[in-house]
Amino acid sequence: MADYVLVHGAWHGAWCWKRILPGLWQAGHRAFAVSLSGVGERAHQIGTPITLQTHVEDVARVIEAEELDAAVLVGHSYAGMVVTGVADRMAARIRHLVYLDAVVPNPGESWSSRHSPETQRDRRAQISQHGSLPPAAPTAFGLDGEDAAWVQRRQTPQPGGVYDSPLQFDGARVFSLPKTFIDCTDPALPTVAASRQRVRSEPGWQVVEIPTGHDAMISAPRELLAALLALA
């Protein structure tokens, strides 16, 4: 039996793992989906100060409260930043680190660091105007039809304070953990390009490709579930 902790990306919530959790439970594992502060069912917190460290704390508290000692920690998209911070804080309690089409940061970087200047400019302008980042269109994640409509009505604005929030961590401690990058290749999300290149150029990475869009937990749950179960 393994313990899984699933951390969603920007604009999402624990709801996005709805098609993954039952399969993990049926296989005999424990699995916990975290909703980060300010999004999902915690969207009412959007007006409070929220930074990357707030989200790191959200996940760390779940690991502590559930007394997990060998967790498979999964971070989707933006949450690559979050799970990196968690692994730095409690590496001894992490069994495997999974970046699901996610940001793989260097020490001192923020979520924004590897975005293009155009993306940085546009997102900072949105944050300046709204205090948050309005949700991206689900079509950007390769979704259409009922799946796109489901995500569209569930997404909530992303707290603006996390965008340029830097993460200081011990890279040797974090990346010495067993680690897997799950690459969603069709269509490939441009903002994840730097991470895709990095994990193929550095030793120690297992790379799993799934021919689907960025929200694999929605568009390819069977394939993603198989990839996660293989790590148990």
Confirm if 199 and 205 have CB atoms less than 8 A apart.
Answer: yes
* Measured distance CA(103)–CA(157) in Å, rounded: 19
Q: How distant, in Å, are the alpha carbons of 19, 86, 101, 127, 147 from that of 216?
A: 10, 23, 9, 27, 11
User: Is position 37 annotated as part of the catalytic site?
Assistant: no
Nearest to 227 by CA among 28, 32, 4: 4
Burial 99-121 (b: 16+ CB within 10 A, else e): bbbbbbbeeebbbbbbbeeeeee
Distance CA 122, CA 24 (A): 38
Q: Would you say 59 and 5 are in contact if contact means Cβ atoms under 8 Å apart?
A: yes
Neighbours of 1 (CB within 10 A): 8
Catalytic residue among 35, 37, 77, 195: 77
- φ/ψ region of 28 (left if φ > 0, alpha if ψ in -120 to 50, else beta) reads left
Can you list the alpha helix ranges (DSSP code H) found in the chain?
21-26, 52-65, 79-89, 117-130, 145-154, 171-175, 193-201, 216-219, 221-229
The residues assigned a catalytic role are: 77
